[in-house]
Amino acid sequence: MAKTPKARISTKDGNGGETHQQAGKGSDAILTTNQGIPVSDNQNQLKAGARGPVLLEDFVLREKIFHFDHERIPERIVHARGSAAHGYFELFESLSDITSADLFQRAGEKTPLFTRFSTVAGGAGSVDTPRDVRGFAVKFYTQQGNWDLVGNNIPVFFIQDAIKFPDLIHSVKMEADRGYPQAASAHDTFWDFVGLMPETTHMIMWAMSDRAIPRTLRHMQGFGIHTFRLVNAKGKSTFVKFHWKPKQGLSSTLWDEAVKIAGADPDFQRRDLFETIASGDFPEWELGIQAFDEKFADSLPYDVLDSTKIIPEEVLPVRPIGRMVLDRNPDNFFAETEQVAYCPANIVPGIDFSNDPLLQGRLFSYLDTQLKRLGSTNFHQIPVNAPKCPFGNFQRDGQMQMTTPTGRANYEPNSLAQAGEEGGPRECPATGFTSFEGRPEQGEQGGKLRIRPESFADHYSQARLFFRSLDPAEQAHLASAIVFELSKVSLEHVRTRVLANLVNVDPELAGRVADGLAMPVPQASKPAAPVKDMELSPALRLVRGPHEKDTLQGRKFGILIADGSDANAVHSVITAVKKGGGTPFVVAPKVGGAKLSDGKVMAADGQLAGSPSVLFDAVAVLLSDEGCAMLLKEGAAVQFVMDAFAHLKAIGFSESAAPLLDKAGVESDEGVVDAAKFAGAAGKRYWDREPKVRMLA
């Protein structure tokens, strides 16, 4: 029989009775609701059958999500930092055979929309370029009402069940007792959660890859993540997954580059989106679908209702159905970008939900999080409302918080007790509230249960598929990213557990990470289901993959000049960049410009000290002998060239600029070219250079 927690804070209620404001601490503390009802299962929602819909009567879920949704005032709890634009969706061909949705009926018809991109973990005042998932939310203003397609730039998610979302976000946000780090996952609590939740493994592969550090908002994909349904006029249902593919191609930054961009321009991606649209170079995405029936879904070795899984494009090709063009910036940032409210429950006839348990939880959560009314979720702490028995859980903060939680554990599961810290209360199957299973209602798949189907148990096969499908350069980036993040984790048992999970993904990956941490490779953790080798998917690659484009279109190129630079060479490079669809940006030691060899002053777009090469996709260094001699003494000039080389960018140079390249440690390769050949080399990165410039795991 469970022990009653002893430690508590007691006060007197308005009638003179005692009310216990906080549960006891220690391993015998019982997890309860805010009304003091013991919780038997904090891992699963109450569903009608293992794969059935979530039941509204699940008060444990509703209270937990309700409290979580109101913890931050007034900014969004997640996706707080966003940038947005107006545009339209144009349909390529009628989809009347599979859906009755009005916007999918008439080819060529344009539907207005508003799209918001965002980071997840940071606050509204954080920077644009952290390693993070990016939100990709589109509001279609259709003739049947608003349809919100609310997704991310990554097609899978960390968790399988929405009841774990508060725990996930608590773990990745600033640690509870110290308030840092901001907009970063490289810390103990996040990786503690990851190590304890193997279902996060596939998403971790994506989050530690270059997908999580996109070059711009215009150069990333978008995904609906979940399996949805399309329903035609005859009531026939078709499963569907949504994909956004940028016409501009996919592009990412290097980690070192992302860090330096954050220092040089914290608003880099927001500025890029705004200025690109303002210039008339409208970003465009192709909307595609993977449509399939129940028979196809049943044939797959994974469950299409599991949001930690993808259907590789090689298994089911993406069918293009339309395009999105963003052609107008908001008139007022607060009125539009900040106040826009997206909700996955906003659908129109012809589109419907699946029983994906993560989606089902989002349908409740998003509507609730928009309320943001003045008031408090801590109404249960008012004496007249407070329970008369101990209560304790991981619901935190909010207005009128009258208790003072201690320690950094505000998520579950956690293993902080292994390090001698407070771990907090736990669920209690023996005494916790359980629903009466009853008989299946008509149309439901089974009795009311808190359970996950066995088809969700494979947490490693697709993580293995993702890692092994990457180019060797991307694999090195991913391994190095994990080494960096785990190097910030002070709890050794957390690092060991993560390594044990990585062994199931790929022993070589685990070995590289362990070597980077100077730790032994532990024995593999025991998977809940056998790990399968799947056919590799080249579509998952950013480097040397089908989505990588060698192009100048939509990219910006820094052209470094100084007094005496050859006028013909400078104008030739500028003309070639513009002809290729790129944007030239002239950089000079002084913002007023420089006097070229023809005696004319060329105005600069930016000063050297404020325009480092991390802001550009490639650079040309066009100097005279005198100009080079001067810049050899200027650290910003040396760094300009050094960073461009280290970030694997093309460098075009005049013969007189060679001493500056030598001082910056530039070695000759196919990306270091004569200025006349710059435009032909500037459309890509030179990945074979990377082993020369940095140590990777």
Question: Catalytic site residues?
Answer: 79, 152
The CA dihedral of 70, 72, 74, 80, to the nearest 10 degrees, is: -110
| Residue in the block written with tokens 């860090």 | 259
Q: Where are the alpha helices (DSSP H) in 580-634?
A: 625-631
Task: Report the chain's C-alpha Rg in angstroms.
Answer: 27
Q: Is the dihedral of CA 305, 306, 307, 310 positive or negative?
A: negative
Is-contact 227 356, C-beta < 8 A? yes
Which residues have C-beta within 8 Å of that of residue 118, sequence separation ≥ 6?
79, 80, 81, 82, 83, 134, 135, 137
Contacts of 518 (CB under 8 A, 6+ apart): none
Contact 457, 498 (CB under 8 A): no
Asked whether 449 and 51 are in contact (CB, 8 A), the reply is no
Quick check: 119 and 261 in contact, CB under 8 A? Answer: no
CA distance 18 to 299: 59
- CB-based burial label for 92 (10 Å; 0-12, 13-18, 19+): middle
Q: Which residues contact 283 (CB under 8 A, 6 or more apart)?
A: 85, 217, 218, 246, 247, 248, 273, 276, 277, 325, 326, 554
Whether the bond between 320 and the residue before it is cis, its omega within 30 degrees of 0, is no
Write phi, then psi, for 89 (nearest 5 degrees). -110, 130
